[in-house]
């Protein structure tokens, strides 16, 4: 009996030892950390490469155009023959107009629907609506662009008679619709992860469902909600196709939302798809605009990180 | 230390006995449960419960896991309705009105009947805001009044001296026992009539447990307290009356002394002597 048992054990041990001694296994074990490290390294190097190119070409641009003209100039006329003007403010104005309209559309609706989904909707509704929202987030932005140009703009023109074919309002609204699912989905995640014991604590004090949502769940989830909004803003700033299609290509430094605009991204598209020759000032200008855009989104992302730490209600 | 408490309890009890006649007739009934049945979907959770709970007493509910004791407690402030498939029949008369009647709003009921939970569940806010939460949602905005309420409630929960210098700090920085007393203070802040406690010491260490038990003794002067506990010694130490639940039924309900010394039902005796559960 005993010997049989010993025999059995030793044979299993034998099999394990055999497999452990296989050469291929040893090689894989040794090579794996290096392989995984290089995969991580590639993505980091690529990022550095992109930033480096951006900085390098921007530097070239500033050899031709003074940095004060670029930062404080109120006219962006790169194609005007003899005397091209490269003041970035009109492009920034275009971007901010669209972003602001998008935020005004997306934040109230996004947070309201997140509250509904997290606090009121039944499990069944939530399970149906969330995937739909994710589908909405997956619609190609060019489709949103058509939608803005061929549906939203004509509709708005019925309401606002003076509205131009290309304007800031229509792409602003549509960018808002585009970032809406992102805000809803991320805010809903933040609110759903607030423990139920907190809701019960408030309900037991005689709070209504709405009071629980607004005065307990919302503050507890605030850091997640704010960072979802900031991330959405950063997407709105970087949005390209919708504004290229429906926003126009006349950068203007004003606050008019019914007029044609050009955003930073739309300008880059215009030049990159046009025939600006390599080495010309216009060619380098897209890098300087790209770099400005990069700074904007970087700041927004850092802000999101800071806010989510600063406003975290620890529980 | 434990002995000291026991002595204190017996003193409290003797005073209690002396000031109030032992006849039940003279005591006011807070909750009168009549033929209460409750179902979770197809599961019959509470079966024909008939129970009268008296004013300014500590009523303990004991029984093994799954016997329905927590369910019964949560029916008393209708928190049980958070489970979607719950159905009830019968009535629970609280201060002359049937709380299971749909015309009785849960907000009104829960403003009069406070609850302390098994796990301390303060809000992720400052100690001050935790206590002021209840008064605020019920419309009290005056800073001076709120300050008074906060101090009074924290004193009432015997935690004022420990936290008075850090009212603006997050309640989650406190120990588990302190958090639980914050939750009790939060409940006192709206001056309820009844306090329901759902195993309030099961997540606490022995010393914190002791403090909460002392507090319960103190609170029953002004409040009627119903406490669910799986700790039979606790029930014996702090309660005036004990109900023994088993499989959704009340097996026995009597004065705590009677339940623990001369139980009428064999099952009660088996349970309190530790033969099952």
Residue A6 pLDDT grade (very low, low, confident, very high; cuts 50, 70, 90): low
pLDDT at A14 over 70: yes
Q: Which residue has the higher pLDDT, A29 or B21?
A: A29
pLDDT at B256 over 60: yes
User: Strand B249-255 and strand B241-246: pairing?
Assistant: antiparallel
Q: Are A262 and A90 in contact (CB under 8 A)?
A: yes
Hey, which residues 114-133 in chain A have their CB within 8 Å of chain B?
122
Considering only A77-86, B13-22, B111-120, B146-155, which range has the smallest mean pLDDT? B13-22
Q: Which residue has the higher pLDDT, A47 or B15?
A: A47
SS3 per residue for A246-286 = HCCCCCCCCCCCCCCCCCHHHHHHHHHHCCCCCCCHHHHHH
pLDDT at A167: 93
- As given in the structure block, the two tokens for residue B241 are 């009356």
- As given in the structure block, the two tokens for residue B276 are 């099952």
Considering only A201-205, A270-274, B207-211, which range has the smallest mean pLDDT? A270-274
Minimal CA separation from B272 to chain A, in Å: 31
pLDDT at B21 over 70: no
Q: How would you label A247-269 residue by residue, b for 16+ Cβ within 10 Å and e otherwise?
A: bbbebbbeeebebbbbbbbbbbb
- Determine what percent of chain A is predicted with pLDDT higher than 90: 70
Instruction: Determine the average pLDDT of the residues in A177-193.
Output: 94
SS3 per residue for B192-254 = CCEEEEECCCCCCCHHHHHHHHHHHHHHCCCCEEEEECCCHHHHHHHCCEEEEEECCEEEEEE
Is B172 in CB contact (< 8 Å) with chain A? yes
CA atoms of B263 and A274, how far apart (whole Å): 95
Dihedral of the alpha carbons of B62, B65, B67, B73, in degrees to the nearest 10: 60
Instruction: Determine the average pLDDT of the residues in B78-103.
Output: 92
How do residues B135-190 score in pLDDT, each as one tens digit?
A: 999 999 999 999 999 999 999 999 999 999 999 999 999 999 999 999 999 999 99
Cα B135-B141-B145 angle, rounded to 5 deg: 75
DSSP-assigned letters across all residues of chain A: -HHHHHHHHHHHHHHHHHHHT-HHHHHHHHHHHHHHHHHHHHHHHHHHHHHHHHHHHHHHHHHHS-HHHHHH-S-EETTSTTS-EE-SHHHHHHHHHHHHHHHHHHHHHHHHHHHIIIIIS-HHHHHHHHHHHHHHHTS-HHHHHHHIIIIIHHHHHHHSTT--SS-SHHHHHHHHHHHHHHHHHHHHHHHHTS-HHHHHHHHTTT--HHHHIIIIIHHHTHHHHHHHHHHHHHHHHH--HHHHHHS-S----S--SSS----HHHHHHHHHHTTPPTTSHHHHHHHHHHHHHHHHHHHHHHHHHHHHHHT----
pLDDT at B25 over 70: no
Instruction: Determine the average pLDDT of the residues in B47-53.
Output: 94
How do residues B58-67 score in pLDDT, each as one tens digit?
A: 999 999 998 9
CA atoms of B59 and B241, how far apart (whole Å): 5
CB–CB contact A315 B172 (8 Å):
yes
CA atoms of B218 and B274, how far apart (whole Å): 29
pTM of the model: 0.81
Is A198 in CB contact (< 8 Å) with chain B? yes
Neighbours of B5 (CB within 10 A): 15
pLDDT at B242 over 90: yes
Q: Are B61 and B73 in contact (CB under 8 A)?
A: yes
Residue B26 pLDDT grade (very low, low, confident, very high; cuts 50, 70, 90): low
For B79, the closest of A203, A211, A219 (CB atoms) is A203
Instruction: Determine the average pLDDT of the residues in A262-275.
Output: 90
Cα B238-B241-B242 angle, rounded to 5 deg: 90
Q: Which residues of B touch A216 (CB under 8 A)?
A: 123, 133
In DSSP terms, B49 is beta-bridged to B36
pLDDT at B1: 39
Residue B5 pLDDT grade (very low, low, confident, very high; cuts 50, 70, 90): very low
Chains A, B: CB contacts within 8 A come to: 72
Residue B14 pLDDT grade (very low, low, confident, very high; cuts 50, 70, 90): very low
Instruction: Determine the average pLDDT of the residues in A130-138.
Output: 87
For A205, the closest of B119, B124, B190 (CB atoms) is B190
Q: Are B247 and B94 in contact (CB under 8 A)?
A: no
- As given in the structure block, the two tokens for residue A77 are 């006329």
User: Measured in whole angstroms, how far is the alpha carbon of residue B93 from the centre of its chain?
Assistant: 17
Q: Are A119 and A208 in contact (CB under 8 A)?
A: no
pLDDT at A80: 80
CB–CB contact A205 B123 (8 Å):
no
pLDDT at B12: 43
CB–CB contact A202 B172 (8 Å):
no
Here the ipTM equals 0.85
Q: Are A93 and A105 in contact (CB under 8 A)?
A: no
pLDDT at B2: 42
CB–CB contact A201 B124 (8 Å):
no
How do residues A92-102 score in pLDDT, each as one tens digit?
A: 999 999 999 99
pLDDT at A260 over 60: yes
Instruction: Determine the average pLDDT of the residues in A167-191.
Output: 95
CA atoms of B239 and A103, how far apart (whole Å): 58
pLDDT at A266 over 90: yes
For B190, the closest of A206, A219, A314 (CB atoms) is A206
Q: Which residues of B touch A220 (CB under 8 A)?
A: 123-124
- Average pLDDT, whole number, for chain B? 89
Instruction: Determine the average pLDDT of the residues in B34-63.
Output: 94
- How far, in Å, are B19, B68, B234 from residue A105 at the CA level? 67, 49, 57
CA atoms of B132 and B144, how far apart (whole Å): 12
Instruction: Determine the average pLDDT of the residues in A235-240.
Output: 93
- Average pLDDT, whole number, for chain A? 90
Q: Which residues of B touch A314 (CB under 8 A)?
A: 124, 170, 172
In DSSP terms, B250 is beta-bridged to B245
Residue closest to B245 by CA, chosen among B71, B94, B63: B63
Considering only A73-82, A110-119, B88-97, which range has the smallest mean pLDDT? A73-82
Instruction: Determine the average pLDDT of the residues in B104-113.
Output: 94
3-class secondary structure, B277: coil
Residue A23 pLDDT grade (very low, low, confident, very high; cuts 50, 70, 90): confident
CB–CB contact A203 B190 (8 Å):
no
Q: Report the half-sphere exposure of B111 (CA within 13 A, side-chain side).
A: 13
- Integer distance in angstroms from the first to the last C-alpha of chain B? 28
pLDDT at A4: 53
Q: Which residues of A touch B135 (CB under 8 A)?
A: none
Is A220 in CB contact (< 8 Å) with chain B? yes
User: Measured in whole angstroms, how far is the alpha carbon of residue A132 from the centre of its chain?
Assistant: 19
């Amino acid at each position: 009996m005993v010997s049989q048992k010993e025999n059995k054990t030793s044979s299993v041990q034998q099999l394990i030892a055999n497999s452990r001694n296989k050469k291929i296994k040893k090689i894989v074990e040794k090579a794996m950390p290096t392989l995984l490290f290089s995969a991580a390294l590639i993505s980091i190097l690529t990022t550095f490469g992109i930033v480096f190119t951006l900085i390098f070409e921007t530097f070239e641009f500033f050899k031709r155009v003074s940095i004060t003209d670029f930062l404080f100039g109120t006219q962006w006329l790169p194609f005007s023959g003899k005397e091209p003007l490269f003041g970035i403010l009109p492009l920034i104005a275009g971007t901010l107009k669209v972003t602001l309209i998008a935020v005004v559309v997306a934040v109230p609706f996004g947070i309201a629907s997140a509250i509904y989904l997290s606090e009121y909707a039944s499990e069944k509704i939530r399970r149906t609506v969330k995937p739909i929202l994710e589908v909405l987030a997956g619609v190609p932005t060019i489709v949103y662009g058509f939608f803005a140009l061929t549906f939203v703009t004509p509709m708005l023109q019925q309401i606002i008679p003076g509205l131009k074919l290309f304007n800031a309002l229509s792409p602003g609204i549509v960018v808002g619709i585009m970032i809406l699912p992102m805000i809803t989905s991320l805010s809903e995640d933040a609110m759903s992860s607030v423990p139920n014991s907190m809701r019960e604590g408030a309900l037991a004090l005689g709070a209504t469902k709405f009071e629980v949502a607004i005065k307990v769940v919302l503050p507890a989830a605030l850091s997640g909600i704010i960072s979802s909004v900031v991330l959405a803003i950063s997407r709105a700033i970087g949005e390209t196709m919708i504004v290229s299609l429906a926003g126009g290509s006349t950068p203007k430094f004003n606050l008019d939302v019914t007029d044609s605009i050009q955003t930073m991204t739309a300008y880059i598209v215009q030049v990159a798809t046009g025939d600006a020759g390599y080495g010309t000032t216009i060619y380098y200008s897209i890098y300087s605009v790209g770099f400005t855009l990069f700074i904007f989104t970087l700041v927004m992302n850092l802000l999101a990180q800071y806010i989510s730490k600063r406003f975290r209600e620890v529980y | 230390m434990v002995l000291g408490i026991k002595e204190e309890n017996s003193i409290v009890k003797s005073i209690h006995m002396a000031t109030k006649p032992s006849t039940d007739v003279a005591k006011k009934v807070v909750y009168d449960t009549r033929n209460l049945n409750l179902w979770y979907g197809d599961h019959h959770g509470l079966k024909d419960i008939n129970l009268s709970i008296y004013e300014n007493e500590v009523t303990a509910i004991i029984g093994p896991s799954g016997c329905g004791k927590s369910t019964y407690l949560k029916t008393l402030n209708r928190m049980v309705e958070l489970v979607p498939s719950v159905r009830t029949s019968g009535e629970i008369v609280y201060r002359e009105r049937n709380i299971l009647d749909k015309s009785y709003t849960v907000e009104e009921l829960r403003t009069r009947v406070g609850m302390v939970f098994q796990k301390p569940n303060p809000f992720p806010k400052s100690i001050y805001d935790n206590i002021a939460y209840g008064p605020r949602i019920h419309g009290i905005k005056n800073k001076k009044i709120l300050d008074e309420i906060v101090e009074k409630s924290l004193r009432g929960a015997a935690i004022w001296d420990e936290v008075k210098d850090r009212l603006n700090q997050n309640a989650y920085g406190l120990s588990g026992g302190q958090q639980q007393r914050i939750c009790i203070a939060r409940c006192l802040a709206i001056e309820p009539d009844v306090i329901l406690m759902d195993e309030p010491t099961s997540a606490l260490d022995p010393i914190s447990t002791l403090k909460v038990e002392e507090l319960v003794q103190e609170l029953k002067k002004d409040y009627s307290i119903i406490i669910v506990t799986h700790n039979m010694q606790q029930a014996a130490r702090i309660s005036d009356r004990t109900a023994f639940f088993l499989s959704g039924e009340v097996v026995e309900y009597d004065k705590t002394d009677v339940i623990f010394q001369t139980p009428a039902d064999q099952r009660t005796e088996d349970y309190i002597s530790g033969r099952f559960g």
